[in-house]
Amino acid sequence: MKKLIIGGAAIAVLGYLGVVGYLHQFDKENATQLLMENRYTGEQEKVAKALFDNSCQYCHSQNTPLPFYSKFPIVGDQMQSDIQNGLRAFRLDRLVEGLKDPSKLSQADLAKLQRVLENNEMPIAKFRHLHWGSKPDEQEKVALLNWIREARKMSLPKETPNVDADRLVQPIPDSIATDEAKVALGHDLYFDGRLSGDGSIQCHTCHQLDKGGVDRLDTSTGIDGKKGPINAPTVFNAAFNFVQFWDGRAADLADQAKGPPTNPVEMGSHSWDDIVARFEMDEEFKKEFLK
């Protein structure tokens, strides 16, 4: 009996080691393939290799070939849910695009990566039980952290006290370059009811400058007293947001500002043509801004 148990345990251990060995090989091939496809050079390659060699792509990039167990019932479902959560938390595909073109790098992605590296948080523990090779070693960590520091340096706000390329969060600049005429136009439009269908709603209705840039309501009230589904964030310093809206669906302020005037539960204008027509009737406005 004892022999049987020892024998069984030995087979189980061998089976486990076999799977671990197989996965190690699979991970290496996957990493090599990705590096070949992407043709990185020099320092970029070092960074990409450190990420791919540690299997970060399985849960943080779309369409990566997955290990065999991802097709098993239960284990596969677990993997899919890790991938879903992983993609929501951090996009490696976006980060490695930024390796080639730094203008595509997100400062938020860099900060998240720095944090998980410093705290040895990734990959998640259950993944490491099967993928023994998937944990950034000291050398890889140093290479990644150095690259993060250099990439961050390029976008630190200029002439701003207390910036520090090692820190996750930077101070915002004291001022930004603006065009006076555009500021005047923006100010007028911000308080102009004609952006709304019946003249009653301004940007300022929901983002009041004397109330911290918000309306102090659980959810905003738009045209005809219609209630929106979500809380209005402040407009103060919104120019520095890395994306706009709670879910980041607008890339910047220009992209964001297109939304409210024609949103049926916010300003309720039928179309931009309607809005332009209303402004074209105003001789004063035309003289000043629509030259």
Contact residues: ligand HEC, CB under 6 A: 51, 54-56, 58-60, 82, 85-86, 89-90, 112-113, 115-116, 122-124, 127, 136, 195, 201, 203, 205-207, 220, 222, 228, 230, 232-233, 235, 238, 241, 244-246, 253, 256-257, 260-261, 266-267
Contacts with 243 (C-beta within 8 Å, 6 or more apart), sequence order:
249, 250, 251, 252
Nearer to ligand HEC, 10 or 271 (CB): 271
- Could you tell me the smallest distance in angstroms from the CB atom of residue 167 to ligand HEC? 16
- Could you tell me the smallest distance in angstroms from the CB atom of residue 171 to ligand HEC? 18
Between the CA of residue 202 and those of 188, 212, 225, what are the distances in Å? 10, 16, 13
For residue 222, how many other CB atoms are within 10 A of its CB? 22
Nearer to ligand HEC, 2 or 117 (CB): 117
What the block records as the tokens of 4 is: 């049987």
Q: How far is CA 227 from the centre of its chain?
A: 28
- Could you tell me the smallest distance in angstroms from the CB atom of residue 4 to ligand HEC? 35
For residue 267, how many other CB atoms are within 10 A of its CB? 26
202 in Cβ contact with 193 (< 8 Å)? yes
- Could you tell me the smallest distance in angstroms from the CB atom of residue 109 to ligand HEC? 7
Nearer to ligand HEC, 160 or 234 (CB): 234
55 in Cβ contact with 130 (< 8 Å)? no
Q: How far is CA 220 from the centre of its chain?
A: 25
- Could you tell me the smallest distance in angstroms from the CB atom of residue 10 to ligand HEC? 29
Dist. CA 154–CA 277, nearest whole Å: 44
Between the CA of residue 265 and those of 40, 113, 199, 201, what are the distances in Å? 48, 38, 14, 11
Nearer to ligand HEC, 14 or 236 (CB): 236
- Could you tell me the smallest distance in angstroms from the CB atom of residue 3 to ligand HEC? 38
Nearer to ligand HEC, 119 or 162 (CB): 119
- Could you tell me the smallest distance in angstroms from the CB atom of residue 72 to ligand HEC? 15
Q: Is 73 exposed, middle or buried (CB count within 10 Å of its CB: 0-12, 13-18, 19+)?
A: exposed
Nearer to ligand HEC, 9 or 126 (CB): 126
Nearer to ligand HEC, 138 or 159 (CB): 138
